[in-house]
Structure 1
Amino acid sequence: GTLYIRSGDEQQWYALEGAVSSAGLDTQSLGASNPEQYFAYFDAFENIEDFGTQKIRGVECRHLLLEIDEARLAELIAGTSEDNDAAINEMIGSTAFRVEIWVGVEDGLPYREVIDMQSSGATVMSGTTQLDFTAFDTNPTITAPSGAKPFPVESR
Structure 2
Amino acid sequence: MTASTRRAALGAILSAPLASVPAIAAQSSLPDYEAQFLALLPQLRKLLPPLERAKAYMATLYALGDRQAGEHPGWGDWKVASAWADRATAARKRNGYSEAWDSVNRHSAKIDELVSEFMDQRMTTLPAIAWKARIADALDCWEEEAGSDLAAWAREDGACA
Please say whether Structure 1 and Structure 2 have the same fold, judged by a TM-score greater than 0.5: no
- The structure with the larger Rg is 2
Structure 1 or 2: more helix by fraction: 2
Q: TM-score range by the shorter chain?
A: under 0.3
| TM-score (norm. length: structure 1) | 0.27
Report 1 or 2 for greater relative contact order, CA contacts < 8 Å, sequence distance ≥ 6.
2
| TM-score (norm. length: structure 2) | 0.26
Structure 1 or 2: more strand by fraction: 1
